[in-house]
Structure 1
Amino acid sequence: MPIPLSQLVAELEALACRRAVQFALEIGLRRVTFEGDLVTVINAIVRRSPEFLPYENVIDDIRFQTLDFQFSDFCHVKRNCNIVADTLAKKPKHCTRLQVWLKDLLEDIIPLVLFDVHRVI
């Protein structure tokens, strides 16, 4: 989904995380793990940082919404270990509306998923 206006990278990552949390709630997930490649955002969510962040309200929204899950976790992963998510995150540059894929994979994403699966095995 495109996010309008140009913001700090960390703010964009926090906004994307908040939308992922909202989406997980909308489709009825109750036990979730969220992964992100920006350690400052993940740390801000997991640890209550004493310093003020310009996107602190977004972090607070994420924390509040996670109260509706039975279990939730936030993990930092390196971008090269999260190729599928990174590729999907770049897709809104070429679209103007929300797009959701629940069952079928996009043809250009299939090789990336297979690469990730074979790396884990």
Structure 2
Amino acid sequence: MGRGLPVVLSVTEFRVLDRLVRHVGTVQHFATLLKAGWDVSDPSARARVKFTASRLRGKLDATPVGGGSIVSVRGIGYLYRSPTAPPLPAARPPSAPGGYGHAHALRGL
């Protein structure tokens, strides 16, 4: 997989990525991604979404888009960032109120 070569995705990976890309910059909750990828809404199935997001990142790393375009919002879900989007705000330390990493900044998106 390199420039100009297609990325091979499973049907589920495609469905999840399609949901993220169609809602660029907007946090997609785990339940929404479960419904898009597997047509289930069982909150205990979050691991499916996490595993699929990890696989997508790996596949996108080999493209100009890059795996960093799929951003984890801890405890909430994921969002897709355009490769041309401005950088995310600096992460707050874990002891800061509002959560970890970038989640505090992305909750309002």
Q: TM-score, normalised by structure 2?
A: 0.31
Higher relative contact order (CA 8 A, sep 6+): 1
Greater Cα radius of gyration, structure 1 or 2:
1
- Would you tell me which structure has more helix in proportion to its own residues? 1
